[in-house]
Each structure stands twice: as C-alpha cells, then as structure tokens.
A and B are shown apart, each in its own frame.
Chain A
C-alpha cells in the first residue's frame, strides 16, 4: 500500500483528529439507533451518551482551532479500516449489555491513545508531536473514566446471549 503522507502542521493534524471524532460520534449514534430498533433501551441510551461525549470532543477541537466550518480532511487511510475510535459494526449483538458497550468504548479509547502515541513517535515537526502527545493524554484520561464507569456496571452472567426465542429456524 502507498505510504501515507503524515500531517506537517498542527492544523492538518487537528483536521485528522476532528475527522476521527466525527466518525466515532456518528457511529455511536448509529449503534444507539440499532439498539433502539431492537428494544435494547439500556444499551441504546448508553451508546447515545457515548455519541454525545465524542460529539463534545469534536466540538472542543473545532473551538480550540477556531474553525467555523468543517475542515477539509485529505484522503487518509487509518491503520485499521476505520478510525481508531470507531466501533466495528460486527461487534454488536442484539442482547448485549451495558458492560459490553463500555468494553467496546474502552477498547476504542485505548486504540486512540496508541494511535496518537505512534503519531508522536513518527517523524513529525515538534509542534505536531506536542499536540499529538496532548491528544494521547486526553484519550488516556477517557480510558481511565470508562474504567471507573465499568467498575460500577455488573459484568454479564454466563449465557447472556441465549435467546429463548431465537431467530434461527427450528428443527
């Protein structure tokens, strides 16, 4: 695969960070809708909350940069198929519980930490490196907060995904 051109300015770097937050927020909102359609209200509300949190982070970046319109983000391939904070559609289950949703969120935040750390370690200008480390620190704080949240949520009982009225055809 063709090698990516790394952002050379803080403006360019923040445009990528912004795109990452937009994608993560939109996906959580989408997952909230999916769960709502399947009457899993608790997890739906949790995903909606996560969407709002990521949305705040997105708006925070825009405010910090003084952007009044969405920045143009050049074509960029993340290291994974989607942004590091974006939940893979395939990770969902209609019977999932808040614990599972928070584990996904924790995993996403952890990937974001690693992404920004790798970025800071790459050959980028010093000011971009400093901002990347700052972003890594923010994401690390999110990992900690979700960890605290998880500690208050009971883990699922074995057999949580057993459906007494499964969609699969009977014998």
Chain B
C-alpha cells in the first residue's frame, strides 16, 4: 500500500478557501470526468466546516475515483482494491479524533469490497463513505460493474450482461447505514452540502454519487437532464425510507435517510502497546 503524504498543513486557525484543501497533485482523469466534481465538492465541504487538513484522512481503494486521496491536502491512504472501508474503519477506531472520509467507485465498493460495505453499514462506525458510481470499470477499460444496466451493450459484454443491478441505497438501508444520500457530480454545490451533512451526522454515512464516465459511458452525459434535485427528503423513519425507495427513479437526489442509531464505540481499554512495538515484530 502507498501512503500519500500530507502535502500541505498550514498553521491552525487559518481561514481556508476550497482551493486550500486541494493538493498540488493534478488529477489525471479524462477531461469531462464526473470525479472532478467530487474533488470540488469535497474541498468546498471541508472549507465550509473549517476542518484542519491534518485532522482529516481520505482513504480509498483502487480505481479511477480512488485516486482522490492524492488530490486532497489532507492525510490520505490509497489502499488495496475493495478494502478502503476496512482501512477506514481501523483508522477511525484507532484515531477517533480524525474525520475519516472513505472514497471509491462502484466496482471497488460494491463488488470487490461489497462484503465490507455491508458490514460497515452494520457496524455504524462514525465515518463518511462516498461512492462515485459511473456504472463501469473505467480504469481497466470499460467492463460492466455491479451497477451496470443488464442491457448495456459493449464489446466486452455483447447484448449486456443480463444481470440485475446492485441497489446501493437499498443495501445501505437494510444493512443499517445511519445516513444515506444520493448526489450528482454535475451539481458540486449540492454535493458539497450533502457531504457536509454526512460528515456532521453521527455514525456511518453513505453518499452514492452519480459520476458520469465520459470515456466509456458517454451516454451518461444525459444524466444532467434526468436528475431531480431535492427529490429525496430526510426521514429517520426506516419503513418510510424503504417505501420511498420503491418509487426511486435512480436519479432522485437528496438525503433518503438520517437515522439516530448511536455510532459504534469500542468497549474496554485501549491497547497498551505502542505502534512501534508492533512494527518491531515485522522488522526484517
């Protein structure tokens, strides 16, 4: 795993604008990629909350969208495929003072990391999970992902996979996520607002972000005509949220559910041994 160094830690109590939360590393995404909107929204949200960059850790797995930690001027961890939530959970338990934001794509989060997603919802550790869903594996050149439509015809899946799509919001709700929302990268201001609410909400917060892949799914440029802002209104009533999902178009934006389950808090004393003791056991 590669640890991304903190590239900019200005002195505390400095007024920062969104650009101060972006690192000097320039994104290599395709021009037009939706993921730019997430970096933009995340930086805006962090500025609005006046978070100290050294108090934030952005953790990711593998994929185009998982490059995000390098682009933020906070601490970051670019981990292994599908294991971003496991790394984020460990980090939050060890360092509860940090604001932990886990990021990734639909392949990383719903397929390779699908098991971790279920249990992160169930455990309800206080962190935010942002999934940039473009319904395709972009980094590996356009294979169908768990959220790809069954009839999406491509060279790698002629006539479509025929497989039913993974339903992220349904899974999150039934698995126990404490905050569930959907945003769109074409509305970075609205997305920044969702991220702020998710970070402030106690427990496991999940934001499904519709993030078009202009290279392998150019038809997704039309999403901006399909999305409905503020179509989802927050409720703490689980059955009501579930009924709303029955009417969900997949393009309804907003907060679906904001529950009041207390976040997971480890019981018992903290480990007495210092990390350096553990490191010594792995010394070659």
Q: Give the B-binding residues of A (Cβ under 8 A).
A: 1, 26, 30-31, 33-38, 40, 70, 77-78, 81-82, 88-94, 96, 167-169, 171
Cβ-defined contact, B186 with A168, below 8 A: no
B265 to chain A, nearest CB (A): 33
Nearest-CB residue, chain A, relative to B215: A167
Nearest-CB residue, chain A, relative to B33: A89
Additional A-B contact list (11), CB under 8 Å, known A31-B31, A90-B212, A168-B155: A35-B31, A81-B184, A89-B34, A90-B186, A90-B224, A94-B31, A96-B31, A167-B216, A168-B141, A169-B156, A171-B155
Cβ-defined contact, B215 with A38, below 8 A: no
Contact with A along B212-225 (1 / 0, CB 8 A): 10111000010010
A105 to chain B, nearest CB (A): 16
- A168 CA / B30 CA spacing, docked (Å): 12
- A55 CA / B236 CA spacing, docked (Å): 44
Nearest-CB residue, chain A, relative to B140: A169
Central interface residue in A38, A81, A94, A171, by most chain B CB within 10 Å: A81
Q: Which of A26, A38, A81 interacts with B187 by CB under 8 Å?
A: A81
- A65 CA / B32 CA spacing, docked (Å): 35
* Chain A CB within 8 A of B19 CB: yes
Cβ-defined contact, A88 with B229, below 8 A: no
Central interface residue in A30, A89, A168, by most chain B CB within 10 Å: A89
Cβ-defined contact, B141 with A169, below 8 A: yes
Query: DSSP majority for the A interface?
Result: loop
Cβ-defined contact, A89 with B36, below 8 A: yes
Contact with A along B191-230 (1 / 0, CB 8 A): 0000000000000000000001011100001001000011
A59 to chain B, nearest CB (A): 15
Q: Which of B142, B214, B216 interacts with A90 by CB under 8 Å?
A: B214
Cβ-defined contact, B155 with A88, below 8 A: no
Q: Which of A1, A30, A31, A94 interacts with B30 by CB under 8 Å?
A: A94
Q: Give the A-binding residues of B (Cβ under 8 A).
A: 17-19, 26-34, 36-37, 40, 141-142, 155-156, 184-190, 212, 214-216, 221, 224, 229-230
- A34 CA / B19 CA spacing, docked (Å): 15
Q: Which of A89, A169, A171 interacts with B185 by CB under 8 Å?
A: A89
B284 to chain A, nearest CB (A): 38
Cβ-defined contact, B221 with A90, below 8 A: yes
Cβ-defined contact, B30 with A81, below 8 A: no
B208 to chain A, nearest CB (A): 17
Cβ-defined contact, A91 with B32, below 8 A: yes
B189 to chain A, nearest CB (A): 6
With A81-B190, A169-B156 as contacts: A1 and B37 at CB distance below 8 Å: no
Cβ-defined contact, A82 with B230, below 8 A: no
B residues less than 8 Å from A78 (CB atoms): 189
A residues less than 8 Å from B17 (CB atoms): 70
Cβ-defined contact, B155 with A169, below 8 A: yes
B222 to chain A, nearest CB (A): 10
B residues less than 8 Å from A91 (CB atoms): 32
B residues less than 8 Å from A88 (CB atoms): 186, 224
A142 to chain B, nearest CB (A): 23
- A115 CA / B212 CA spacing, docked (Å): 27
Nearest-CB residue, chain B, relative to A96: B31
Nearest-CB residue, chain A, relative to B184: A81
B residues less than 8 Å from A1 (CB atoms): 229-230
Cβ-defined contact, B155 with A89, below 8 A: no
B62 to chain A, nearest CB (A): 18
- A93 CA / B31 CA spacing, docked (Å): 6
In the assembled complex, 30 residue pairs joining A and B whose CB atoms fall closer than 8 Å, in A order, are: A26-B18, A31-B31, A34-B27, A34-B36, A36-B26, A37-B26, A38-B30, A38-B31, A40-B31, A70-B17, A77-B189, A81-B187, A81-B189, A81-B224, A89-B33, A89-B34, A89-B37, A89-B185, A90-B32, A90-B34, A90-B212, A90-B224, A92-B214, A93-B214, A94-B31, A96-B31, A167-B30, A167-B216, A168-B216, A169-B155
A residues less than 8 Å from B215 (CB atoms): 167-168
- A171 CA / B142 CA spacing, docked (Å): 12
- A96 CA / B190 CA spacing, docked (Å): 28
Top 7 nearest A-B pairs (CB, nearest first) are A81-B187, A92-B31, A92-B32, A169-B141, A34-B31, A94-B31, A89-B36
